[in-house]
Amino acid sequence: MVKNIVILENNIISTLTVRSKLTRVLIDKGFNVTILTTGTELQLQKAKDDGFNVIDVKSGTQNPFDIFRYMFNIRKAIKKCKADVCLTFTIRPAIWGNLMTRQLGIPTITNITGVGPLFESKKPAYKFARLLYKISLKKTAKIFFQNKDDRELFLKNNFVVENVSSLIPGSGVDHDHFFPDNNIRPKDKFIFLFIGRLLKDKGIVEYIEAARLIKKEYPDIEFRVIGPLWQQNLKENTITEPQLRSWIDEAVINYYGEVLDVREHIASATCIVLPSYREGTSNVLLEASSMERPCITTNTTGCKEIVEEGVTGFLCNVSDSYDLYVKMKKMFLLSEDNIVEMGKNAREKVKREFDKKIVIDAYIKAIETTATNS
């Protein structure tokens, strides 16, 4: 009988946002749920104030000392919680967490939230990650994938076996929470909005370059950015504070920092833009679509499944700022009626295909099956 569930997250922000409802449903069903993660002191305190049991296990970077400390903290916390089942999300928890749960004999349910350049990059860090993935996932009880492409890659490379892997529609979207509010958006101003960690592979540089091109023709269009500077990735993928400051000083963007509840910002925007290089399934696009906002994103895994070309938004080429500029200009030139229609189509699509209830039901079933088999 499963009583104690440990959730291993990369950062507490995920618990406060995309994983909040899943965590609350598990608590409401009577499970003792503990989140092992990290974050700022304020973020961790907010999670505790919201009723979540949280242990700060820090983070495993590329530094061997940090990795060793991270694994030690995970192991210690899992034993303290007397975990019956562990849920892991994102790459570091999926690798280091699964290695620890395997040692401790704890059944684990892993969510592959995206692969990024994992299979394409020749950098030593990613080569090592591929090796560790193959080892760490061998004994995993259940593995959820957020899109078909990622699942096929893991199967092709013998990282997982078919009978323990299955597809879920990303993290799903709570369409009652992300409900359209069409009274906020100013009708006399066109606003593009980027939401995401400030990483190069999220397409932030292409967004800035496209914004510059558009502002030369339409200086009154506003370009907004929400999201934190993020230092937990390889240096070549990060945006520095001086870079961000230069964009702000140039007046190409209005920057709103890190925001936990993005609903008012989405409602204030005309169109959401995410030129990501690859996603698991983009939560930003799901949430924006659920709030009846058309989106522009890249024709790539984890994005193309959400945005339907010409129906709910537009697709552009990956890492192509000029094509992004073309699609953003195309969106700007649409009539108000067309923009509204796209938004309504978007909400209907995500309600039909990406309902969060599908994800939560899949987890409940996996936990029950794990309990039966363990």
Task: List, as one string, the DSSP characters of 190-233.
Answer: -EEEEES-BBGGGTHHHHHHHHHHHHHH-TT-EEEEE--B--SS
**In this predicted structure, what is the pLDDT of residue 46?**
95
Q: What is the pTM of this model?
A: 0.93
What are the pLDDT digits (tens) for 272-295?
A: 999 999 999 999 999 999 999 999
Region 112-116: what's the mean pLDDT?
88
Exposed (0-12), middle (13-18) or buried (19+): which is 212, by Cβ within 10 Å? middle
Residue carrying the six token digits 């009583």: 3
pLDDT category at 356 given cuts 50, 70, 90 is very high
CA distances (Å), 252 to each of 206, 222, 272, 276, 340, in order?
Answer: 13, 8, 16, 19, 26
- Percentage of the chain beyond pLDDT 70 is 98
Distance CA 14, CA 228 (A): 13
Region 318-324: what's the mean pLDDT?
98
Q: What is the mean pLDDT of the chain?
A: 94
**In this predicted structure, what is the pLDDT of residue 182?**
86
Distance CA 32, CA 170 (A): 24
- Beta-strand (E) ranges in the chain? 4-8, 32-37, 53-56, 85-89, 108-112, 142-145, 165-167, 191-195, 222-226, 254-255, 271-274, 295-298, 313-316
**In this predicted structure, what is the pLDDT of residue 125?**
76
With 80 as the cut, is the pLDDT of residue 62 above it? no
Query: For residue 277, what is the DSSP state?
Result: S
**In this predicted structure, what is the pLDDT of residue 117?**
76
Q: Max CA-CA distance within the chain?
A: 64
What are the pLDDT digits (tens) for 96-105?
A: 999 999 999 9
Region 248-273: what's the mean pLDDT?
97
Cβ–Cβ under 8 Å, residues 195 and 226: yes
- Going edge to edge, which strands form the sheet with 254-255? 254-255, 222-226, 191-195, 271-274, 295-298, 313-316
With 80 as the cut, is the pLDDT of residue 353 above it? yes
Distance CA 159, CA 156 (A): 8
Task: Give the range among 38-42, 202-206, 342-346 with minimum mean pLDDT.
Answer: 38-42
The C-alpha torsion from 319 through 323 and 328 to 333, rounded to 10°, is 180
3-state secondary structure of 7: strand
Domains for the chain: give ranges and CATH numbers: 4-172+355-373 (3.40.50.2000), 191-353 (3.40.50.2000)
**In this predicted structure, what is the pLDDT of residue 263?**
97
Distance CA 319, CA 296 (A): 13
Which of these, 161, 12, 22, lies nearest to 93 by C-alpha position?
A: 12
